[in-house]
Amino acid sequence: MRNLLSFPNPVNEKAARVVATVVLLGVVATLSTSFYWLLIPLAYGFWARVLTGPTLSPLGWAAQSLIAPRLGERRPVPGPPKRFAQGIGAGFSTLALVLAFTTSHAAADALLVVLGIAAGLESIAGYCLGCKIFALLMRAGVVSETVCAECADIGARLRTDAG
């Protein structure tokens, strides 16, 4: 049994893309309606996923357990970069929430546009911006290779992609 506060490793990329699609829809809904209260479940979802994976995130659970299995064969990808990306989403959505209700809708909107671009890249193209930042931080030595041994071993990824 998985620990309540653990993040899955590996992650099914199809589930991650489903989550990103719903995040993109939430961002678009918030920007188009100015219903900034929508940032509350958006920020909660990011924090729930970064802290517990899909355990306390209804969206994460549904994506992993109900939707992704219906999209075909599982496509495992390393968990640590996805968790890092969720952490970036948690920061952006939380800051947008605080800004929207305290000082500036324009600043909140700017953060939401960036979040929407990242979610759109993940959901539509399978390009995880947070994962790419994670990889750059690993290459720079800011993130230890022990955090994600699979990420550090490019040979294993190339063998998996070729096989």
Judge whether residue 152 has pLDDT over 80.
no
pLDDT-derived band at 143 (thresholds 50, 70, 90) equals confident
pLDDT-derived band at 158 (thresholds 50, 70, 90) equals very low
Instruction: Parse the chain into domains and list their residue ranges.
Output: 11-162
Non-local CB neighbours of 91 within 8 Å, separated by 6+ positions: none
CA dihedral 58, 60, 61, 64 (to 10 degrees): 160
User: In angstroms, rounded to a whole number, what is the distance separating the alpha carbons of residues 41 and 62?
Assistant: 15
Tokens of 107: 């600043």
Give me the mean pLDDT over the 10-17 stretch. Answer: 94
User: In angstroms, rounded to a whole number, what is the distance separating the alpha carbons of residues 2 and 35?
Assistant: 36
User: In angstroms, rounded to a whole number, what is the distance separating the alpha carbons of residues 67 and 122?
Assistant: 16
Lowest mean pLDDT among 27-31, 80-84, 93-97: 80-84
User: In angstroms, rounded to a whole number, what is the distance separating the alpha carbons of residues 30 and 162?
Assistant: 41
